[in-house]
Structure 1
């Protein structure tokens, strides 16, 4: 009888050890399969991050490299200006030197069709300007500008109405006007679409009378 009891007592720790190994090994098996990937992804916040990205569907910045690749595709495979290595030929068939600096992202431009005319503050003069806008974001920003062009024109005219004589006759003053117009346009886009995206406003015409 004593021998039977001793054998039973010896088997009990072995059973506990086996159960412990099963519990430890279960997460390892799960991690090796799809269930483990899902479990790990939940812990790492993958799914919440993906859901957040889907909810926040905003225009994205367009790197210059993406713009060049798109241009090469439009020009056909091999392109008309591209050689092996990705450098376009310059004058005399020599590769164009790679410059340093410059903007990291590509710029898209949109010229407003009609010019803007506004009286100057506390002055008998008025200003007439043509403008174009630029954005480093994808085509959705320009599409938004076209969609809301009437509201944008109204905002631009109101911003121009704040212009003084001192601003129109100096380069620094004209830069202030550019900043004010960009802010006005972005204000309309944010109100209508929840996203601005206009980085600069450029003058295509500037007359003071």
Structure 2
């Protein structure tokens, strides 16, 4: 018999963990480990097979223009030249030498939804070798047509602003590069310059 006010309690043994729950936890951990290992393996395979940006270098085409490094500039990044850009890709201008070419004649075009017209003279620049300028000369008729179509699509109010002129330069560069891509498979014109600009 126990003392007054105390009730005897028998200690019950703690229930043994069920084997089913432990098995589920172990299987889940093993499954997660397999998923992580499989992901790492797939990533390594993709990198080795060229699927994740680690592709093998394409053989260089000797007919493609090459970037012309500036004298004294670091030439290791693009030794021998870089594959010509199709239309838009920025280059570090401090690293490459620019060549310039004036397109032969003025461009005169009516403006969109207006009685006005514009007359411009254009020059281009490239960081590539003489082959880009030679191809601009060879396809000057097609380039003139693309430039005139671009000019005819301009709004006189927009192109009278500095921002409008900058946008027009970008549109003309893209139009010229599109012609070169269609005719030669590459662009290569980096900038377009106005050497004369009249709106009436």
TM-score past 0.5 threshold? yes
1:143 matched to 2:134? The reply is yes
Per the TM alignment, residue 166 of structure 1 is displaced from its structure 2 partner at its CA by 2.0
1:47-196 → structure 2 map (5 Å cutoff): 52-55=58-61, 57-65=63-71, 103-196=94-187
Q: TM-score, normalised by structure 2?
A: 0.59
| C-alpha separation in 1, matches of 2:134 and 2:61 | 20
Q: 1:169 offset after TM fit, Å?
A: 1.1
CA contact (8 A) 1:167 1:176 kept: no
Q: Is the Cα contact below 8 Å between 1:107 and 1:135 reproduced in 2?
A: yes
Contact 1:133 1:202 in 2 (8 A): yes
Does structure 2 conserve the Cα–Cα contact (< 8 Å) formed by 1:167 and 1:177? no
Q: Identify if the C-alpha distance between structure 1 residues 190 and 102 changes in structure 2 by more than 3 Å, giving closer, same or farther.
A: closer
The alpha-carbon distance between structure 1 residues 176 and 143, as it changes in their structure 2 partners (threshold 3 A), is same
Per residue, is there more helix in 1 or in 2? 1
Q: CA RMSD in A?
A: 2.0
Unaligned 5+ runs, structure 1: 1-47, 68-100
How far off its partner does 1:158 sit?
0.5
Task: Please report how far the alpha carbon of residue 103 of structure 1 lies from its aligned counterpart in structure 2 after TM superposition.
Answer: 2.2
Relative contact order (C-alpha < 8 Å, sep 6+): which is higher? 2
1:54 and 1:147 map into 2 onto residues whose CA distance is 23
Residue deviations 1:52-84, cap 9 Å, x none? 4244742111111179xxxxxxxxxxxxxxxxx
| 1:76 paired residue number | none
CA contact (8 A) 2:156 2:199 kept: no
Match of 1:65, SS state, is: coil
Give, in whole Å, the separation in 2 of the partners of 1:207 and 1:113: 17
Q: Is the 8 A contact 2:127 2:188 kept in 1?
A: yes
Give TM-score scaled by structure 1 length: 0.57
